[in-house]
C-alpha cells in the first residue's frame, strides 16, 4: 500500500512538473520583443515646402481661386513645417496623372531604404524572416507588395506573408497584432512588420473641400520593425510588447462613413472627412481606453478612479469641473500618438489630461515629417529615443486611430539600450523650435473683406493674442453713415445678432483670415435711395462722411503701431480702409472687428426689422462679428439739414438685444464660444 501511494505521488509530481514547464514555455513563447525599427527618410529633393505646395496648387487647372486659397489656409494652420516630403509626381508636375509605376517607385524607394537599413543594423537577412506583414492602406497591386518584398530580399518559401490594405492610419498596430499572433503559434521566430502609405496616386484636384484636407496633411514616410519571440535574440531587443488592445466601431453607420475614399460630383476620388468624425473618434477612443485601463494601470489608480466615480454619483454632481478623470500617467511614462493633425494631438492631450511635455514628441513629429499615416507613431518613438528620454523599465503608451472607425493601443516596456538618433540625427538639436508658426503666413494669408459702419474699437479675439479686455480706441468724428442700414443688418451702429451663414463674408466667399478690410461704402440700391431722399447735396455729404471715417480709422490704426496700412492714402471714390495685423501671433488667432454678411436677398436687409423678418436673426456667430460701441455716432453733426431730422429706427423686440451694449455683450460671448469650438475642432485663427 505504501509503495502504491509513493507511486501515485511520484506520478503527480511528474505531471505537475511537466505542466509547469509547458506553461513556462508557452508564456515565454508568447512574449513579443521589438528587436529594432527604422523610419524612412526620403531624399532631400522630395521636400515639400509651402512654396512648393503653392506652386502645385497654382498649376492645377481644376482648382478655382477660392479652393486654392482654402488649400493654402489649411496648410498654413496644419502644424506642418517646411521639411516634409512628397512624391516625385507632385514635384514633377504629374500629380493629376500618376501611373501605376509611379506608385511602385514610391514603395520601392521605401523598401530599399528602411527595410535594407533594418537588416543591416540587426545583422539579419531576408531568409531569417519567418513572418512578413506589410501594411500599405491605399495601394494594393497584384502581386501584392508582400510578394514584392519576398522577391526583393530572397525570403524562404515557407515565409508567412500577410498584406493589409484599407486599414487606415491605425493599421500599424493591426500589423503588430497579426505578427504577434503569428509568432505565438510558432516556435522561436522572427517577424518583419512594414508600414507605409502610398500618396502618389491620390492627389485630389476637385472642388469638394472635404476631400482636400488629406493632401494638406499626408506626407511620404514609412517604418519597418523586426519583432521576435526567439530567446536567443531577446538580449538584443529594445522593447517588449506588454499588451495590445484593438477597437472597431464600424457597426455604427456614421462612424463607418466619417473617413473614407469617395467620389465627388465629378467622379474624382479623394479622402473625405465628415462632421461625424470627432464624435466617432471620441467614441472609439473611449471604448479602447476602457479596455486598456485595467491592463496597464495599477490597482491603486483603478481604486481611486472607482471611488471618485462613486463619490460623484453619491453627491449627484454633474458639473464638468467635478468630473472624475483617470490618470494614465500611473501606467505609462511616455506617450506616442498618431500625428493626424494639430487638433488631433490637442484632443488627445485634453482627454488624457496630459501636459505639453507629454505631447511634445507628437507635435514635433507632425512639424518635421507631417502625417505619415500609420507609421507616424514610430517617428514619434524615434524622437523620444533621439532625445535620450527612454530608460530601461520605462513604459510607452502607443495610440493610433483611423478610418473604420478604429482605435488601437499598446504598451511597450523598454528592455534594452535606446540611444539611436535614427532619422532625427541631422535635426534633433533644433527641436523643439522657438515657434511652430508657418514662416509663409504673411505671404499666403489672403484678405478678408469686412462690411461695417464703424470701428470705434477693435479688440483681440480671445485670450490667446493679447491680454484680456485690451481694446484699441479711435477718436472718430460723428458720422452720418451710422444712420443708414447696411446690407448686413446694422442700424445706428448696433449690429444684429444674425445676418447670414457662419463665416461667409459679404462677397460670398469663405475667408477666415486676419487680414482685414473695413468697407464704408453702400450698395447700388441704397445709393439710389439716398439720392432720391436727400438729393445730390445730401448724398455727397454722406459719402464725404464715409471717406472721413475711413481716413480717421486709418490714422488711428497707424498710431497704434500694431497694424500695417495697405490701402492707398487717397481713397478717391471708395471709402475703404485696408490693413494687416502686424503681430504674427495675432495673425494666427484673428481679431474681432465690425463685420457683416449679406443675406441672400439684400432688399430685405435694409434695416434690422427687415433682417429679422427675413429669418436671419438666429444668434449663430461667425468670425469677426463683435465690437463695442464706446464712441456714439451722431447723425446731426454733418452739414446736411436733412440728416438731422431723420427719424429713429424703431426698436425690434424679437429676442434680440435692444441696445448696442447688450448687443456687444451677446456677440462677444457668442464669438468666444465659436472660437473655442473651432479651436477644439482644429481650426486655428
- The reply to whether 426 and 452 lie within a common domain is no
CA dist., res. 292 & res. 314, Å (int): 26
Domain interval for residue 139: 29-430
Cis bond before residue 143 (omega within 30° of 0): yes
- The reply to whether 78 and 135 lie within a common domain is yes
Task: Look at 12-16, 330-334, 337-341 and tell me which has the smallest mean pLDDT.
Answer: 12-16
Proportion of the chain above pLDDT 90, given as a percent: 38
Q: Is residue 13 part of a domain?
A: no
Last residue of some domain: 402, 430, 458? 430
pLDDT, tens only, 507-520: 333 333 334 445 55
Q: Is residue 169 part of a domain?
A: yes
Alpha helix ranges (H) inside 60-170: 65-76, 88-91, 100-110, 116-122, 145-152
- The reply to whether 351 and 491 lie within a common domain is no
Q: What angle, rounded to 10 degrees, do the helices at 145-152 and 100-110 form?
A: 50
- The reply to whether 372 and 496 lie within a common domain is no
pLDDT, tens only, 101-151: 999 999 999 999 999 999 999 999 999 999 999 999 889 999 999 999 999
**Which pTM was predicted?**
0.67
Task: Look at 365-369, 447-451, 665-669 and tell me which has the smallest mean pLDDT.
Answer: 447-451
Task: Look at 279-288, 367-376, 536-545 and tell me which has the smallest mean pLDDT.
Answer: 536-545
pLDDT band, residue 397 (cuts 50/70/90): very high
Q: Is residue 4 part of a domain?
A: no
Which single residue is written with the C-alpha cell 511602385?
104
Q: Which of 280, 303, 370, 513 is nearest to 84 (CA)?
A: 370
Which single residue is written with the C-alpha cell 507605409?
196
Task: List the CATH number of the domain containing 58.
Answer: 3.40.47.10
Residue 680 has pLDDT above 80, yes or no: no
- The reply to whether 422 and 466 lie within a common domain is no
Query: What's the start-to-end Cα distance of the chain, in Å?
Result: 90
CA dist., res. 211 & res. 191, Å (int): 36
Would you state the pLDDT for residue 187?
84
Per-residue pLDDT, averaged over 422-451, amounts to 75
pLDDT band, residue 213 (cuts 50/70/90): confident
Q: Is residue 7 part of a domain?
A: no
Q: 396 forms bridges with which residues in the sheet?
A: 334, 412
What is each CA distance from 603 to 465, 539, 543, in whole angstroms?
38, 20, 21
- The reply to whether 348 and 423 lie within a common domain is yes
Q: Is residue 685 part of a domain?
A: no
Q: Which residue did the predictor score with more confidence, 579 or 182?
A: 182
Q: How many domains does the chain have?
A: 2
CA dist., res. 56 & res. 570, Å (int): 37
- The reply to whether 415 and 466 lie within a common domain is no
- The reply to whether 408 and 462 lie within a common domain is no
Last residue of some domain: 398, 430, 462? 430
- The reply to whether 417 and 510 lie within a common domain is no
Q: Is residue 559 part of a domain?
A: yes
pLDDT, tens only, 181-190: 999 998 899 9
Per-residue pLDDT, averaged over 536-557, amounts to 71
Q: Which three cell numbers stand for residue 149?
A: 518584398
Last residue of some domain: 395, 430, 465? 430
Q: Which residue did the predictor score with more confidence, 568 or 266?
A: 266
CA dist., res. 226 & res. 179, Å (int): 10
Task: Look at 104-118, 435-449, 475-489, 644-658 and tell me which has the smallest mean pLDDT.
Answer: 475-489
Would you state the pLDDT for residue 509?
34
Residue 570 has pLDDT above 50, yes or no: yes
Which single residue is written with the C-alpha cell 532619422?
423
pLDDT, tens only, 151-160: 999 999 999 9
Q: Is residue 659 part of a domain?
A: yes
Overall size of the chain counted in residues: 685
Mean pLDDT computed over every residue of the chain: 74
Proportion of the chain above pLDDT 70, given as a percent: 64
Which single residue is written with the C-alpha cell 507635435?
363
419 — alpha (psi -120 to 50), left (phi > 0) or beta?
Answer: alpha
Residue 456 carries which DSSP code? S
How big is the chain by its Cα radius of gyration, in Å? 31
Task: Look at 83-97, 183-197, 247-261, 450-464 and tell me which has the smallest mean pLDDT.
Answer: 450-464
CA dist., res. 453 & res. 431, Å (int): 47
What is each CA distance from 377 to 109, 382, 399, 433, in whole angstroms?
20, 9, 8, 20
- The reply to whether 355 and 456 lie within a common domain is no
Residue 364 has pLDDT above 90, yes or no: yes
- The reply to whether 212 and 265 lie within a common domain is yes
The H or E element that residue 563 is part of is: strand 563-565
- Total Cβ atoms within 10 A of residue 678: 17
- The reply to whether 208 and 305 lie within a common domain is yes
Residue 680 three-state SS = helix
Task: State the DSSP string of 537-578.
Answer: HHHHHHHHHHHHHHHHHHHHHHHHTSEEE-S-S--TT--EEE
Q: Which of 685, 558, 571 is nearest to 621 (CA)?
A: 685
Q: Work out whether strand 448-451 and strand 516-519 pair parallel, antiparallel, or are unpaired.
A: parallel
Q: Is residue 20 part of a domain?
A: no
Amino acid at each position: 500500500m505504501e509503495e502504491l501511494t509513493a507511486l501515485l505521488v511520484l506520478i503527480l509530481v511528474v505531471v505537475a512538473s511537466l505542466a509547469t514547464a509547458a506553461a513556462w514555455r508557452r508564456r515565454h513563447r508568447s512574449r513579443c520583443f521589438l528587436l529594432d525599427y527604422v523610419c524612412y527618410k526620403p531624399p532631400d529633393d522630395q521636400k515639400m515646402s509651402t512654396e512648393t505646395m503653392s506652386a502645385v496648387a497654382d498649376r492645377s487647372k481644376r482648382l478655382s481661386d477660392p479652393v486654392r486659397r482654402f488649400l493654402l489656409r489649411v496648410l498654413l494652420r496644419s502644424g506642418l513645417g517646411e521639411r516634409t516630403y512628397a512624391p516625385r509626381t507632385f514635384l514633377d508636375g504629374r500629380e493629376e496623372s500618376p501611373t501605376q509605376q509611379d506608385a511602385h517607385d514610391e514603395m520601392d524607394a521605401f523598401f530599399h531604404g528602411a527595410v535594407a537599413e533594418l537588416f543591416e543594423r540587426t545583422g539579419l537577412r531576408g531568409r531569417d524572416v519567418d513572418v512578413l506583414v506589410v501594411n500599405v492602406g491605399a495601394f494594393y497591386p497584384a502581386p501584392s507588395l508582400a510578394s514584392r518584398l519576398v522577391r526583393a530580399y530572397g525570403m524562404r518559401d515557407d515565409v508567412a506573408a500577410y498584406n493589409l490594405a484599407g486599414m487606415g492610419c491605425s493599421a500599424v498596430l493591426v500589423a503588430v497584432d497579426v505578427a504577434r499572433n503569428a509568432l505565438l503559434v510558432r516556435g522561436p521566430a522572427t517577424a518583419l512588420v512594414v508600414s507605409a502609405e502610398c500618396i502618389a496616386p491620390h492627389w485630389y484636384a476637385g472642388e469638394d473641400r472635404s476631400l482636400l484636407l488629406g493632401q494638406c496633411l499626408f506626407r511620404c514616410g514609412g517604418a519597418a520593425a523586426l519583432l521576435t519571440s526567439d530567446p536567443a535574440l531577446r538580449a538584443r531587443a529594445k522593447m517588449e510588447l506588454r499588451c495590445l488592445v484593438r477597437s472597431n466601431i464600424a457597426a455604427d453607420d456614421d462612424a463607418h462613413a466619417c473617413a473614407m475614399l469617395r467620389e465627388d460630383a465629378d467622379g474624382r476620388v479623394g479622402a473625405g472627412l465628415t462632421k461625424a468624425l470627432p464624435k466617432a473618434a471620441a467614441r472609439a477612443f473611449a471604448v479602447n481606453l476602457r479596455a486598456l485601463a485595467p491592463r496597464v494601470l495599477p490597482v491603486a489608480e483603478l481604486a481611486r478612479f472607482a471611488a471618485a466615480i462613486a463619490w460623484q454619483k453619491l453627491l449627484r454632481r454633474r458639473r464638468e469641473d467635478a468630473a472624475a478623470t483617470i490618470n494614465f500617467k500611473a501606467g505609462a511614462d511616455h506617450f506616442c500618438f498618431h500625428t493626424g493633425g494639430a487638433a488631433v494631438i490637442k484632443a488627445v492631450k485634453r482627454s488624457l489630461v496630459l501636459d505639453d511635455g507629454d505631447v511634445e514628441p507628437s507635435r514635433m513629429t507632425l512639424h518635421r515629417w507631417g502625417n505619415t499615416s500609420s507609421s507616424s507613431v514610430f517617428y514619434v518613438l524615434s524622437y523620444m529615443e533621439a532625445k535620450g528620454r527612454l530608460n530601461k523599465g520605462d513604459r510607452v503608451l502607443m495610440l493610433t486611430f483611423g478610418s473604420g472607425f478604429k482605435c488601437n493601443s499598446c504598451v511597450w516596456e523598454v528592455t534594452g539600450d535606446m540611444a539611436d538618433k535614427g532619422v532625427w540625427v541631422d535635426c534633433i538639436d533644433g527641436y523643439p523650435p522657438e515657434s511652430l508658426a508657418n514662416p509663409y503666413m504673411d505671404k499666403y494669408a489672403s484678405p478678408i473683406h469686412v462690411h461695417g459702419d464703424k470701428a470705434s474699437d477693435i479688440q483681440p479675439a480671445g485670450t490667446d493674442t493679447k491680454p484680456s479686455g485690451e481694446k484699441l480706441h479711435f477718436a472718430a468724428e460723428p458720422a452720418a453713415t451710422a444712420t443708414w442700414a447696411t446690407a448686413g443688418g446694422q442700424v445706428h451702429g448696433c449690429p444684429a445678432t444674425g445676418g447670414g451663414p457662419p463665416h461667409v463674408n459679404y462677397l460670398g466667399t469663405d475667408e477666415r483670415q486676419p487680414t482685414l478690410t473695413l468697407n464704408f461704402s453702400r450698395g447700388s440700391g441704397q445709393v439710389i435711395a439716398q439720392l432720391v431722399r436727400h438729393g445730390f447735396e445730401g448724398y455727397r455729404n454722406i459719402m464725404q462722411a464715409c471717406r472721413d471715417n475711413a481716413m480717421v480709422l486709418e490714422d488711428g490704426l497707424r498710431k497704434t503701431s500694431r497694424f500695417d496700412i495697405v490701402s492707398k492714402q487717397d481713397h478717391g471714390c471708395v471709402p475703404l480702409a485696408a490693413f494687416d495685423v502686424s503681430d504674427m501671433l495675432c495673425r494666427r488667432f484673428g481679431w474681432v472687428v465690425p463685420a457683416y454678411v449679406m443675406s441672400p436677398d439684400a432688399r430685405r436687409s435694409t434695416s434690422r426689422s427687415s433682417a429679422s423678418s427675413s429669418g436671419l436673426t438666429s444668434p449663430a456667430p461667425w468670425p469677426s462679428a463683435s465690437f463695442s460701441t464706446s464712441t456714439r455716432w451722431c447723425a446731426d453733426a454733418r452739414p446736411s439739414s436733412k440728416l438731422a431730422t431723420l427719424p429713429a429706427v424703431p426698436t425690434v423686440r424679437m429676442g434680440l438685444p435692444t441696445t448696442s451694449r447688450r448687443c456687444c455683450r451677446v456677440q462677444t460671448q457668442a464669438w468666444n464660444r465659436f472660437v473655442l469650438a473651432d479651436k477644439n475642432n482644429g481650426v486655428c485663427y
